[in-house]
Amino acid sequence: MTEFGFIDSIKTLFAPLPDNGFEGIGDDCSVLSVGGGESLVFTADLLTEGVHFLRTATSPRELGRKSLAVNLSDVAAMGARPVATLLSIALPADAADAWAAEFMLGYRELSEEFGVTLAGGDTTRSLSGLTINVTAIGRAADAHLKRRSDARPGDVIFTAGELGTSGAGLQDILAGRCDTPAAAVHRNPQPQVAEGIWLGSRPEVRAMMDLSDGLASDLKHILDRSGVGAEVAVEQIPAAPGADIRMAACSGEDYKLLLTAAPEAAERLAADFRIRFGTPLHPIGRITSGPGLVWLRNGKPEPLDWHGFEHY
- Burial label for 241, CB within 10 Å (0-12, 13-18, 19+), is exposed
**Cα 69 from chain centre:** 9
Rule CB under 8 A: is residue 195 a binding residue for a copy of itself?
no
Q: 74: annotated binding-site residue?
A: yes
Q: 155: annotated binding-site residue?
A: no
CA torsion sign, 140 to 32 to 208 to 7? positive
Q: 218: annotated binding-site residue?
A: no
Rule CB under 8 A: is residue 133 a binding residue for a copy of itself?
yes
Rule CB under 8 A: is residue 218 a binding residue for a copy of itself?
no
d(CA 24, CA 11): 8
Q: 49: annotated binding-site residue?
A: no
Rule CB under 8 A: is residue 29 a binding residue for a copy of itself?
yes
Rule CB under 8 A: is residue 20 a binding residue for a copy of itself?
yes
Site for a copy of itself in 81-110 (CB under 8 A): 83-84, 86-90, 96-97, 100-101, 104-105, 108
Q: 121: annotated binding-site residue?
A: yes
Q: 94: annotated binding-site residue?
A: no
Rule CB under 8 A: is residue 296 a binding residue for a copy of itself?
no
Q: By rule CB under 8 A, what string of x and - marks binding of each residue 50-69 to a copy of itself?
A: xxx-----------------
- Which residues, other chains included, contact 81 with Cβ-Cβ below 8 Å and sequence gap of 6+? 75, 138, 139, 140, 193, 197
Rule CB under 8 A: is residue 125 a binding residue for a copy of itself?
yes
- Which residues, other chains included, contact 238 with Cβ-Cβ below 8 Å and sequence gap of 6+? 159, 161, 162, 163, 248, 282, 284
- Which residues, other chains included, contact 66 with Cβ-Cβ below 8 Å and sequence gap of 6+? 47, 53, 58, 187, 188, 189
Rule CB under 8 A: is residue 194 a binding residue for a copy of itself?
no
SS3 114: coil
Are the C-beta atoms of 276 and 285 separated by less than 8 Å? no
Q: Count residues contacting a copy of itself (CB under 8 A)?
A: 70
Q: Which of these ranges, 78-86, 146-154, 159-167, 178-186, lies near a copy of itself under the rule CB under 8 A?
A: 78-86
Q: 43: annotated binding-site residue?
A: yes
- Burial label for 286, CB within 10 Å (0-12, 13-18, 19+), is buried
Amino acid identity of residue 123, one-letter, is: T
Residue 256: CB minimum distance to a copy of itself, A = 20
Report the residue from 8, 55, 59, 121 that binds a copy of itself according to the rule CB under 8 A: 121
Phi–psi pair at 201, nearest 5 degrees = -80, -5
Residue numbers of the site for a copy of itself (CB under 8 A)?
1, 3, 6-7, 9-10, 13-14, 17-22, 25, 29-30, 32, 34-36, 38, 40, 42-52, 83-84, 86-90, 96-97, 100-101, 104-105, 108, 111-112, 115-129, 131, 133, 135, 137, 311
